[in-house]
Chain A
Amino acid sequence: QSALTQPASVSGSPGRSITISCTGTSSDVGRYNYVSWYQQHPGKAPKLIIYEVNNRPSGVSYRFSGSKSGNTASLTISGLQAEDEADYYCTSYTSISTRVFGGGTKVTVL
């Protein structure tokens, strides 16, 4: 159950778009569309922002979108805002019925 691979940090200017990658294997990301993304601000509980690769829960901004190609999923944040500065984690269901998180990506708004 190795963690999914995410870049440690990504930064962007306000109004621009950034993309965070999440690389797994053919036993998790590549096998299932059960990839979800979470936003976590310091000291707060994680918040679900994307589920099933590209679905947004009610109330989540349209600026967040997800995609997947092969063993790699991606989260794009468009129109970057100061409030988007946070840690972002991907997670996937696995072939042994467990779940695995990525290492997390710190997003900095310049």
Chain B
Amino acid sequence: EVQLVESGGGLVKPGGSLTLSCTASEFSFSRYSMNWVRHSPGKGLEWVSSISSTSTYIYYADSMKGRFTISRDNAKKTLYLQMTSLRVDDTAVYYCARDLSSDVDYYATDVWGQGTTVTVSS
């Protein structure tokens, strides 16, 4: 079964750091662009960052730029999100998600993990 499994969430103090991981299985991870999307309590979905299959192209939402770093290890089939200078409003469920196609850019995501919860609180 095609699957994404996130890990690394937890409780962190404001100003702290955390690294999330997302491990892929049953598909050619190295061929797909990958994304992080978060869902804050009582709020909607928010796109965080995208990374192309070979890490050539990386993009961030404005509010994460300079604080978050997306990366991937294709040999380990793992996507990462390093988060620094965390703020209370970064509290959310963080999902990793696979782009729909490895061949065509649709900028849509069809495979999602179950999410990992990040809580930023003193």
Interface of A toward B, CB cutoff 8 Å: 1, 3, 32, 34, 36, 38, 40, 45-48, 51-52, 57, 87, 89, 91-93, 97-104
Check B110 for interface membership: any CB of A closer than 8 A: yes
Number of A-B contacts (CB under 8 A): 68
Report yes or no: A45 in contact with B95, Cβ–Cβ below 8 A. Answer: yes
Contact segment of B68-76, B83-91, B101-109: B101-109
Within 8 A of A (CB), among B23-60: 35, 37, 39, 44-47, 50, 57, 59-60
Q: How close is A21's CB to chain B, nearest CB, in angstroms? A: 15
Report yes or no: A48 in contact with B100, Cβ–Cβ below 8 A. Answer: yes
The answer to whether A100 and B47 touch (CB under 8 A), given A45-B112, A48-B100, A51-B100, is: yes
A-B residue pairs, 6 tightest by C-beta = A51-B108, A104-B44, A36-B108, A45-B112, A93-B107, A34-B107
Alpha-carbon separation in the docked complex, A34 to B109 (Å): 11
Q: How close is A85's CB to chain B, nearest CB, in angstroms? A: 17
Alpha-carbon separation in the docked complex, A22 to B95 (Å): 23
Interface of B toward A, CB cutoff 8 Å: 35, 37, 39, 44-47, 50, 57, 59-62, 95, 97, 100, 105-110, 112-115
Q: How close is A23's CB to chain B, nearest CB, in angstroms? A: 15
User: Chain B CB within 10 Å — which of A89, A99, A100, A102 has the most?
Assistant: A99
Report yes or no: A97 in contact with B44, Cβ–Cβ below 8 A. Answer: no
Report yes or no: B47 in contact with A98, Cβ–Cβ below 8 A. Answer: yes
Alpha-carbon separation in the docked complex, A103 to B43 (Å): 8
Report yes or no: A38 in contact with B106, Cβ–Cβ below 8 A. Answer: no
Report yes or no: B110 in contact with A57, Cβ–Cβ below 8 A. Answer: yes
Report yes or no: B109 in contact with A48, Cβ–Cβ below 8 A. Answer: yes
Alpha-carbon separation in the docked complex, A71 to B45 (Å): 20
Alpha-carbon separation in the docked complex, A65 to B103 (Å): 24
Q: How close is B38's CB to chain A, nearest CB, in angstroms? A: 10
Partner of A40 from the list B45, B105, B109 (CB cut-off 8 Å) is: B45
